[in-house]
Structure formats: structure tokens, C-alpha cells
């Protein structure tokens, strides 16, 4: 290894003395709020005796409540038939609404899963060069968005998939990018301004969950509440597994070169890093929700997205 | 023997009654600041106290972020027989018109910082604000080395010291004197006196030259014990002596030194610590060369072997006395390097204190390593030098000149420094390191903001953060 040895430069007396008190801190901000938010997104819920106890308790309570409601309605019918039937109908409506809600959640789940399947099929078709499969995927994606399939004249798998991507997804990608930028901006501002610990984590968490839901909706996923949590968890796990939650230099440089951060106060530096991490979450969610894999260099870079999102936000520290 | 036993028992009783009162009423955290001479203990304590009282720059402490610290003030310390740490004088010397580093510490002093904390937790609303006392002791770093002597006999200590002498040019006079002395001759006080005088002269010279291991420490700073028999001994060759011989007398004095000087010092100040920060000026040792680095490593390993790390349970701490449950290994003077090199400095300090760290972890204590600067005296900048951009730190030297310095690049793998040092290399293979002595900065201070620092907040969070929240 090369060692350059010590360097000593003596400065002119005319040069202003070093103002240590005003010097920026040496450590880069670590985006604490986003790290905490990602941590809670990635945490696995349920499992173990605790959740069994909870589930059994819940079942017991709902059993008791339904029996009580049944008794209540039955007795009311004896006393005042009109009111009794009203109560019975209301109970029926409630039960129906619950069933519908559960169905909707399941449907949302299935829709997200369908996007995932489509992308897997598209990747497989690309690897195998399977034209029929590629056409089937393109048709399915076109059907998803209610558009006509214009890729019939293409004669190899890559052309079919890329044609479908160009035709169907570019407009959606742009909308998703705007969504990511909005969220990154919101998180950056919130974590820079909210002085309360935990409140900034809550703000970052809610903004990220909203962003992930919007991204899934744009690509036709429309996940329910559970589907959204599930999606957020896979995004967070994916980011952690690939080490993308670490604050590396590119996060910082993406904002506007390394020099800027050192001029910002600590708090605004945290905001910038939180915003940049949000953009990463958004891009990971985009990849997970998109029905086709990114081709032809269409994948947006973290730096570009972050830079656009935070432009003008912290220009002067 | 008996007296040391009874001493131990009274001590344990004291400790138990203290723990009982602490467990139920006002908790106390005892922070041990451990470091050899010139490691920067006094500056660390001063800067820590100042920053805790004006926490504007301590944003990495959870208690500060959440605004839990309602107030902090310097109390009269609990120990009636010790002088108070002269916080105001040290702060004044660091922040005056012409700032300078405080003088070397010459005696033990103590300080208690009391916090009034906003209530937290489930029953917080019921109990109201909490109090927490932080006790810190400052002492001459020279005395710390003596802790390593506690487990040694006179013969083994002599053998070690004598083996070291040929490598140190400062010892020449003492070695010549030693040649003319017969350890088995009858004890004569005048001989012992002159021998001890030469030995002391050698120790003083060796310390001036930057050697770490200069035991016994009281010889360097004797205080009121100067001239007493307990400080009038010197190492002699041989493994035992006849009755009445010089060797036997010296061994007797060495044992008295251990029992009456070191042990009370250890028991009053170190045996009951909860948290410990080990300050180590690795950079200076690296600058002085392989021998100084190895010397520092060995000295620190011996000192740290005297402590008892481990986890403190509610009952175990009452039964067997407290243990050090968190240890921070802090490489000081981080402001002398550009921050891109700080991870390497940390790795070097950690590798240097490896033994102590492993032992602490094994016994259940939490450890961490950091590069810190308790009082930051430089700013970072980039300049072009010899045709390329170099990372520099800029600051003021004690003679008033302003310089921008790159101390040289530390290797990524700390063993590239530690192995040659252990093998007794004369100089570094990869070239030199030039560490300057920066003076404290002239500060434009803002009310509410403590002294500028590097990672002092992270260090404080690790050490006492859990007790504040």
C-alpha cells in the first residue's frame, strides 16, 4: 500500500483563523427516522404463542359478541317484532360488509400477487426466448390496463416484451416517479422540521406506506390494508437484504455533490438523507409492483430521482 | 493481611449500604475515566461536563433529542476527603483569550454532576421528575499504571523492569549504578536512597521521552509521600534475598507499596465503577514509532486486567459488588485526522486493546470503540498539494502559527502497525507519521452550545444514555 507520509502546510498569518465552533460536524447524518421506519416495516408480525393467544382470544370475543347479538335480536323479536327484525337486518348487513371487506382484502392481495406472477413469467420468457409465452404475457398486461395489444407483429420475445413496456408502462412509470418524488420531499421536510423524536419516524412511516400503496395502485395492484403492509414488508426486507439502507456516499452525492451536505446543518442533513432513503424505498417498490421487468435502461436511478425530488428544498443551509 | 481483609469487609459493607440506597432513592452512575498520562482525561471530563450542562451539541444523545434533561448542576461531591475537580479553572484555561491545555493532573479530585430528568415510563406521571447523579474522578494518569503491579511479586516486577532497561537510553546511569551493587549485601539506608534516586531520575526521563510503562507511578508524582520508605525502592536482579539483605528490604517496601498505596487507590476509585471509558492516545504512540506503540499496548493491557467487567443484576450487584457493565474504548485526538481516516483509527485502537475487549465481552459487559475528540481544535479542508487534492485538518499550534496537516495515512488493517511493533521493528515500513500538537481553538461561543467536539455525544450516549432515558 502506498503511504504518502505526513504533509504540513504552513499558512499565511493573513488567512482567517479556523472557526472550530462553526465547523460542520464530521459524521454524515444517518437518516435515523427512515432507518427506524424501515425497521418497523420489515418487522414480521404474528407467529409464536403470543399471536395464537391473540387469535384465540379474538375468536372467543367475537363468538361471545355474535351469540349476544343473536340473543339480543331474538329477544327483541319476541318483545317488539318490528325493532327486532330491524336489529336482525342490521346485523346481517354488518356481517355482509365484513365478508365483503375480507373479500376485498383478499382480492387486493391477489392483484399484487398477479403483478408479481406476470413479471416472473415475463422474465422467464425473456430468458427462454419463448415467443408464445411473451405474447401471452403482453396480452395479459394489456388486458390489465384495458388497452389493446399492439405487439402482435413483433416476432421475438424481447421485442414483444419491450414493445408492451413502451406502449403500456412508460406513462405509468412517469406517474410513479412523480409519486416517489412527492413522498421523498415530504419525508425530507418532515424529518428536517419536526423536532419531536418518534413523530418524525411516524411521519416517515406513514408517507412511505402511502407511497407504496399509490405505486401499487398505479400499476393496477390496488392492495388492501393487509396487502399494503405485506408489500411494505417485502420492500423493506429486500432493501435490507441488499444493503441499500446504508447511507453511502451516492445517497449524499445524489443531492447535489458532496460539498453541499457539509454546508447544511445536522438537522437538514438528516432530512436530505431521509428523503434519499425514501426514494430508494419507492424505487424498490416500483420494481416489485411493475408487471414487467425494466428493459432498455428504463430503470430510473436513485440519484436522478432524489436530485429532482429535493431540488430547491435545501439550497441554502 | 488481616488489615487488608478487614478493609475489604468494611468496604463491602459500605458498598452494600450504598447500593441499597441507590436502588431505591437517587441512582448514581460512577464513570471511570481511564487513561495514561497525557491521554486527555482532564479535558475529556471538562468537555463532557460542559456539554452536558449546555447540550446544544449533544444531538446524538436520546435524552437531549427528547428534551428530557431539565437541568444539570455541579454538586459538592459525596466524598468528604477529596478535593473537587476544578472544573471552572480547567474550562477557563480552555476557553480564555489565549486558550491552552490544562496542566497535567497532580492529585485525585472528584466531581458530581446531578441531572433533573423529565419523568418517563409507565409510572412517570406518578413519580415526577427523576434525579440522577454522575460521579467522575480525575487522577494522575501516572498512577494508573500501578494497577498492573497489584498481581506481581517483587521478583517478577524486577525482572520485567530490568529486561526493559537496555532498550531505553534514559536508563544508562541507573544501569551503571546497579552494576556496583550487591543485592545480597546488608541493607544500608544510604545505598537504598541513592539507588531509588537514580531509579526515579530514570523514570522521569523515560516518561519525558514518551514511554508509557514507567512503574511505579507514585515515583513520578509522589505528593506527600515523597521520601518515605514506601517510595524508596528500586528493582534488583535475583529471585530472593537473605534475611536483612538489601534485596529483602526492597521486596518488603515493594509489598508495602502495593498494600498501602496502590490498593487503597484502587479500592476508593476504581473498584465500584459502573461505566468506564478508556482514553488512549494511539496517534501519538504511532507517531513516536513501533516501540512506543508496543509499550502502550502492554501498559494498557496490564492496567485493564485490574478491572472487573460484567453485567449488573439487581441482586448480584448487591451481593458481590458492582461491575463495570459498559466499556468504551476511545481513541482520542480524532481531530488530528481527516474524518475519512477515523474508522481506521478506531480499528487500530480496538485492535490495540483487543485482550481487554474480549475479556469484557466474555464476562457480559458491553463494549464499543470510537474515535473522539473531547475538544475539537481543527477544521477540515481540502487543498491541492503536489498536484493533487489532499484532505487536511487546519488548526493553531501552541506557538500561534496556523498550519494545515495531513498526519499520514493509517493502514486499513491495524495489524500492519501492531505486528511490526510486537516484533520490535525500529521504524515503520510504510513511512512516517507526523502528528502535530494543536492548541485549543479560539472559540466564538454560542450560548446553549457546549465546547465543539467530535463524537463526544455518541460516547456519552453509549456510556450513560440508557440511564438518562
DSSP string, B50-100: HHHHSBTT-TTSHHHHTT-EEEEEEEPPS-TTSPBP-HHHHHHHHHSSS--
Find, among A234, A193, A186, the residue nearest to A211 by Cα.
A186
| Residue where a domain terminates, one of A95, A110, A125 | A110
Nearest chain A Cα to B340, which residue?
Answer: A26
Q: Do A18 and B396 touch (CB under 8 A)?
A: yes
pLDDT attached to residue B20? 57
* Strand duo B402-406 + B388-396: pairing: antiparallel
Instruction: Quote the Cα angle for B304-B305-B309, to 5°.
Output: 80
Residues of B in contact with A196 (CB under 8 A): 66
Cell of A217: 395502485
Distance from CA of A24 to the nearest CA of B (A): 9
Residues of A in contact with B120 (CB under 8 A): none
How far is Cα B311 from Cα A8, in angstroms, rounded to an integer?
46
Same domain, B32 and B73: yes
In a domain, B407, yes or no: no
Nearest chain A Cα to B444, which residue?
Answer: A21
Residues of A in contact with B66 (CB under 8 A): 196-197
Same domain, B341 and B464: yes
Instruction: Quote the Cα angle for A42-A110-A279, to 5°.
Output: 40
What domain count does chain B have? 2
Q: Do B383 and A9 touch (CB under 8 A)?
A: yes
- Side-chain-side CA neighbours of residue B421 (13 Å): 23
In a domain, B203, yes or no: yes
Q: How far is CA B118 from the centre of its chain?
A: 32
In this complex, the residue of B339, B394, B402 whose CB is nearest that of residue A26 is B339
DSSP 8-state symbol, B377: -
Q: What is the 3-state secondary structure (H, E, C) of B233-275?
A: CCCCCCCCCCCCEHHHHHHHHHHHHHHHHHHHHHHHHCCCCCE
> Does A260 have pLDDT greater than 80?
no
In this complex, the residue of B380, B401, B430 whose CB is nearest that of residue A26 is B380
Distance from CA of B286 to the nearest CA of A (A): 12
Same domain, B451 and B328: yes
In a domain, B418, yes or no: no
Distance from CA of A259 to the nearest CA of B (A): 11
Same domain, A92 and A194: no
| Residue where a domain terminates, one of B199, B232, B264 | B264
Which of A184-193, A244-253, A263-272, A301-310 is least confident?
A: A244-253
The more confidently predicted of residues B299 and A147 is: B299
Q: Do A23 and B339 touch (CB under 8 A)?
A: no
In a domain, B150, yes or no: yes
The CA-atom distances, in angstroms, between B243 and each of B94, B185, B187, B234, B246 are: 55, 10, 10, 18, 9
In a domain, A19, yes or no: no
> Does A176 have pLDDT greater than 70?
yes
Give the residue-averaged pLDDT of A291-309.
78
Residues of A in contact with B446 (CB under 8 A): 21
Q: Does A1 touch chain B (CB under 8 A)?
A: yes
Same domain, A139 and A252: yes
Tell me the pLDDT of chain B (469 aa) as tens digits.
455 556 556 666 665 555 555 555 678 899 989 888 888 899 999 999 999 999 888 878 888 877 888 889 888 878 888 888 999 999 999 988 888 999 888 888 889 999 998 887 666 666 678 889 999 988 888 888 888 888 889 999 999 999 988 888 889 999 999 888 888 989 889 999 999 999 999 999 998 888 888 888 899 888 788 888 889 999 999 888 888 899 999 999 999 999 999 888 888 888 778 898 999 999 989 988 898 899 899 888 888 888 777 666 655 555 556 788 899 999 999 999 988 889 899 999 999 998 888 988 888 888 899 999 999 999 888 888 888 888 889 898 888 888 898 888 889 899 989 999 888 888 887 777 888 888 898 887 778 888 999 999 999 999 999 988 8
Distance from CA of A16 to the nearest CA of B (A): 9
In this complex, the residue of A7, A13, A18 whose CB is nearest that of residue B385 is A7
Residues of A in contact with B455 (CB under 8 A): 27
In this complex, the residue of A3, A27, A196 whose CB is nearest that of residue B409 is A3
In a domain, B382, yes or no: no
Q: Do A3 and B430 touch (CB under 8 A)?
A: yes
pLDDT attached to residue A157? 80
Which of A195-199, A250-254, B234-238, B283-287 is least confident?
A: A250-254
Same domain, B237 and B196: yes
Question: Which pairs count as long-range contacts for A292-298, CB under 8 Å and 24+ apart, including other chains?
Answer: A292/A118, A292/A119, A292/A122, A292/A137, A292/A141, A292/A161, A292/A164, A292/A165, A292/A169, A293/A119, A293/A122, A293/A123, A293/A126, A293/A161, A295/A158, A295/A161, A295/A162, A295/A165, A296/A162, A296/A165, A298/A165, A298/A170, A298/A173
Q: Sorting pLDDT into bands at 50, 70 and 90, what band is A316?
A: very low
Distance from CA of A288 to the nearest CA of B (A): 35
Q: Is the ipTM of this complex over 0.85?
A: no
In a domain, A11, yes or no: no
Q: Which of A2, A4, A20, A196 to mutate to test the interface with B (most CBs of B within 10 A)?
A: A20
User: What residues contact residue B434 under an 8 Å CB cut-off, 6+ apart?
Assistant: A5, A6, A7, A8, B287, B405, B407, B408
Give the residue-averaged pLDDT of A54-78.
90
| Residue where a domain terminates, one of A50, A82, A110 | A110
Nearest chain B Cα to A29, which residue?
Answer: B60
Q: Residue B211 burial by CB count (10 A; 0-12/13-18/19+): exposed, middle or buried?
A: buried
Distance from CA of A273 to the nearest CA of B (A): 16
DSSP 8-state symbol, B309: B
Q: Do B434 and A18 touch (CB under 8 A)?
A: no
In this complex, the residue of B59, B339, B430 whose CB is nearest that of residue A266 is B59
Same domain, B258 and B290: no
Distance from CA of B445 to the nearest CA of A (A): 7
pLDDT attached to residue B255? 93
Same domain, B317 and B351: yes
Q: Does A316 touch chain B (CB under 8 A)?
A: no
Same domain, A181 and A255: yes
* Strand duo B326-331 + B275-280: pairing: parallel
Q: Do B402 and A5 touch (CB under 8 A)?
A: no
Q: Do B408 and A21 touch (CB under 8 A)?
A: no
How far is Cα B17 from Cα B84, in angstroms, rounded to an integer?
24
Same domain, B39 and B97: yes
Same domain, B278 and B162: no
Distance from CA of A266 to the nearest CA of B (A): 9
In this complex, the residue of B404, B442, B452 whose CB is nearest that of residue A9 is B404
Cell of B225: 509521600
CATH of the domain at B9: 3.40.50
Residues of A in contact with B452 (CB under 8 A): 20-21, 23
How far is Cα B358 from Cα A253, in angstroms, rounded to an integer?
38
pLDDT (tens digit per residue) in A81-140: 888 889 889 989 999 999 999 998 888 888 888 888 888 888 888 888 888 888 888 888
Same domain, A170 and A192: yes
How far is Cα B238 from Cα B217, in angstroms, rounded to an integer?
23
Same domain, B124 and B167: no
In a domain, A43, yes or no: no
Same domain, A165 and A220: yes
Q: Do B444 and A17 touch (CB under 8 A)?
A: no
Same domain, B47 and B117: yes
Q: Name the residue range of residue B198's domain.
A: 146-264
In this complex, the residue of A4, A5, A18 whose CB is nearest that of residue B395 is A18
Q: Do A20 and B383 touch (CB under 8 A)?
A: no
Q: Do A21 and B402 touch (CB under 8 A)?
A: no
Cell of A201: 419516524
Q: In what order do the strands lie in the sheet with B388-396?
A: A7-10, B402-406, B388-396, B378-385
Q: Do B392 and A7 touch (CB under 8 A)?
A: yes
Q: Over chain A, what is the mean pLDDT?
A: 81
pLDDT attached to residue B247? 92
**What is the signed CA dihedral for B335, B338, B343, B349, rounded to 10 degrees?**
-40
Same domain, A131 and A103: no
Same domain, A66 and A189: no
Same domain, A175 and A66: no
Same domain, A239 and A94: no
The more confidently predicted of residues B279 and A12 is: B279
What domain count does chain A have? 2
Residues of A in contact with B459 (CB under 8 A): none
Q: Name the residue range of residue A83's domain.
A: 60-110
Q: How many CB atoms are located within 10 Å of the residue A316 CB?
A: 7
Same domain, B111 and B83: yes
Q: Residue B102 burial by CB count (10 A; 0-12/13-18/19+): exposed, middle or buried?
A: buried
Give the residue-averaged pLDDT of A139-149.
83
The CA-atom distances, in angstroms, between B159 and each of A94, B262, B302 are: 90, 20, 16
In a domain, B321, yes or no: yes
Query: What's the longest Cα–Cα distance across chain A?
Result: 102
pLDDT attached to residue A225? 81
Nearest chain A Cα to B382, which residue?
Answer: A259
Same domain, A67 and A133: no
How far is Cα B172 from Cα B176, in angstroms, rounded to an integer?
6
Same domain, B286 and B236: no
In a domain, B383, yes or no: no
pLDDT attached to residue B125? 64
In a domain, B314, yes or no: yes
Same domain, A126 and A96: no
Q: Do A8 and B436 touch (CB under 8 A)?
A: yes
In this complex, the residue of B65, B392, B431 whose CB is nearest that of residue A5 is B431
Q: Do A7 and B443 touch (CB under 8 A)?
A: no
How far is Cα A151 from Cα A145, in angstroms, rounded to an integer?
15
pTM of whole model > 0.90? Answer: no
Cell of A139: 396480452
In this complex, the residue of A13, A18, A22 whose CB is nearest that of residue B378 is A18
pLDDT attached to residue B249? 92
Same domain, A97 and A127: no
Amino acid at each position: 500500500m502506498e503511504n504518502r507520509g505526513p504533509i504540513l502546510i504552513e499558512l499565511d498569518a493573513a488567512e482567517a483563523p479556523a472557526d472550530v465552533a462553526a465547523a460542520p460536524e464530521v459524521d454524515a447524518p444517518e437518516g435515523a427516522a427512515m432507518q427506524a421506519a424501515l425497521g418497523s416495516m420489515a418487522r414480521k408480525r404474528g407467529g409464536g404463542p403470543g399471536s395464537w393467544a391473540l387469535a384465540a382470544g379474538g375468536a372467543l370475543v367475537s363468538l361471545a359478541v355474535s351469540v349476544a347479538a343473536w340473543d339480543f335480536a331474538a329477544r327483541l323479536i319476541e318483545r317488539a317484532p318490528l325493532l327486532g327484525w330491524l336489529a336482525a337486518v342490521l346485523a346481517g348487513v354488518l356481517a355482509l360488509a365484513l365478508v365483503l371487506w375480507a373479500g376485498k382484502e383478499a382480492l387486493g392481495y391477489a392483484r399484487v400477487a398477479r403483478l408479481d406472477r406476470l413479471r416472473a413469467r415475463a422474465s422467464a420468457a425473456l430468458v427462454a426466448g419463448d415467443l408464445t409465452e411473451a405474447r401471452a404475457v403482453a396480452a395479459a398486461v394489456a388486458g390489465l390496463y384495458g388497452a389493446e395489444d399492439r405487439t402482435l407483429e413483433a416476432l421475438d420475445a424481447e421485442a414483444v416484451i419491450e414493445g408492451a413496456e413502451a406502449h403500456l408502462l412508460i406513462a405509468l412509470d412517469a406517474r410513479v416517479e412523480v409519486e416517489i418524488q412527492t413522498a421523498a420531499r415530504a419525508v425530507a421536510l418532515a424529518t428536517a422540521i419536526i423536532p419531536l423524536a418518534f413523530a418524525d419516524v411516524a411521519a416517515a412511516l406513514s408517507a412511505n406506506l402511502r407511497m407504496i400503496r399509490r405505486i401499487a395502485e398505479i400499476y393496477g395492484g390496488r392492495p388492501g390494508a393487509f396487502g399494503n403492509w405485506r408489500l411494505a414488508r417485502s420492500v423493506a426486507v429486500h432493501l435490507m437484504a441488499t444493503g441499500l439502507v446504508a447511507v453511502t456516499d451516492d445517497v449524499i452525492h445524489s443531492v447535489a455533490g458532496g460539498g453541499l451536505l457539509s454546508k447544511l446543518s445536522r438537522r437538514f442533513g438528516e432530512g436530505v438523507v431521509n428523503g434519499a432513503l425514501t426514494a430508494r424505498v419507492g424505487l424498490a417498490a416500483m420494481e416489485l409492483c411493475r408487471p414487467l421487468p425494466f428493459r432498455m435502461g428504463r430503470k430510473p436511478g436513485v440519484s436522478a430521482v432524489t436530485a429532482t425530488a429535493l431540488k430547491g428544498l435545501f439550497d441554502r443551509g | 493481611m488481616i488489615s487488608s481483609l478487614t478493609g475489604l469487609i468494611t468496604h463491602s459493607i459500605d458498598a452494600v449500604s450504598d447500593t441499597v440506597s441507590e436502588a431505591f432513592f437517587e441512582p448514581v452512575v460512577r464513570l471511570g475515566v481511564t487513561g495514561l498520562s497525557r491521554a486527555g482525561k482532564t479535558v475529556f471530563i471538562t468537555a463532557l461536563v460542559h456539554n452536558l450542562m449546555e447540550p446544544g451539541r449533544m444531538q446524538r444523545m436520546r435524552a437531549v433529542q427528547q428534551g428530557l434533561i431539565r437541568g444539570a448542576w455541579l454538586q459538592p461531591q459525596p466524598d468528604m476527603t477529596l478535593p473537587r475537580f476544578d472544573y471552572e479553572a480547567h474550562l477557563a484555561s480552555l476557553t480564555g483569550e489565549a486558550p491552552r491545555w490544562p496542566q497535567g493532573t497532580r492529585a485525585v479530585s472528584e466531581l458530581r454532576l446531578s441531572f433533573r430528568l423529565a419523568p418517563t415510563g409507565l409510572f412517570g406521571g406518578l413519580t415526577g421528575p427523576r434525579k440522577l447523579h454522575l460521579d467522575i474522578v480525575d487522577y494522575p494518569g501516572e498512577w494508573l499504571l500501578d494497577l498492573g503491579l497489584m498481581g506481581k511479586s517483587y521478583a517478577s516486577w524486577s525482572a520485567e523492569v530490568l529486561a526493559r532497561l537496555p532498550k531505553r537510553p534514559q536508563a544508562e546511569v541507573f544501569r551503571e549504578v546497579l552494576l556496583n551493587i550487591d543485592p545480597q549485601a546488608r541493607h544500608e539506608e544510604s545505598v537504598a536512597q541513592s539507588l531509588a534516586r537514580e531509579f526515579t531520575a530514570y523514570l522521569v526521563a523515560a516518561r519525558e521521552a514518551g514511554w508509557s510503562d514507567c512503574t511505579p507511578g507514585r515515583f513520578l508524582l509522589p505528593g506527600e509521600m515523597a521520601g518515605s520508605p514506601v517510595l524508596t525502592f528500586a528493582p534488583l536482579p535475583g529471585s530472593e534475598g537473605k534475611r536483612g539483605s538489601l534485596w529483602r528490604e526492597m521486596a518488603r517496601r515493594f509489598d508495602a507499596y502495593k498494600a498501602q498505596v496502590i490498593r487503597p487507590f484502587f479500592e476508593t476509585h476504581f473498584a465500584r465503577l459502573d461505566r468506564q471509558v478508556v482514553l488512549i492516545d494511539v496517534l501519538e504512540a504511532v507517531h513516536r514509532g513501533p516501540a512506543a506503540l508496543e509499550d502502550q499496548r502492554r501498559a494498557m493491557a496490564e492496567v485493564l486486567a485490574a478491572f472487573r467487567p460484567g453485567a449488573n443484576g439487581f441482586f448480584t450487584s448487591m451481593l458481590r459488588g458492582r461491575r463495570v457493565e459498559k466499556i468504551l474504548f476511545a481513541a482520542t485526538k480524532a481531530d488530528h485526522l481527516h474524518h475519512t481516516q477515523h474508522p481506521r483509527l478506531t480499528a487500530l485502537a480496538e485492535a490495540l486493546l483487543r485482550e481487554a475487549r474480549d475479556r469484557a465481552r466474555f464476562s457480559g459487559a458491553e463494549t464499543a470503540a470510537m474515535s473522539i475528540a473531547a475538544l475539537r481544535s481543527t477544521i477540515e479542508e481540502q487543498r491541492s498539494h503536489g498536484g493533487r487534492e489532499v484532505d487536511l485538518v487546519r488548526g493553531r499550534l501552541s506557538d500561534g502559527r496556523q498550519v494545515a496537516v495531513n498526519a499520514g495515512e493509517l493502514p486499513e488493517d491495524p495489524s500492519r502497525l501492531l505486528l511490526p511493533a510486537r516484533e520490535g521493528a525500529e521504524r515503520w515500513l510504510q513511512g512516517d507519521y507526523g502528528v502535530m500538537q494543536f492548541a485549543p481553538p479560539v472559540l466564538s461561543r454560542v450560548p446553549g452550545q457546549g465546547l465543539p467536539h467530535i463524537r463526544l455525544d455518541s460516547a456519552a450516549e453509549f456510556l450513560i444514555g440508557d440511564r438518562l432515558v
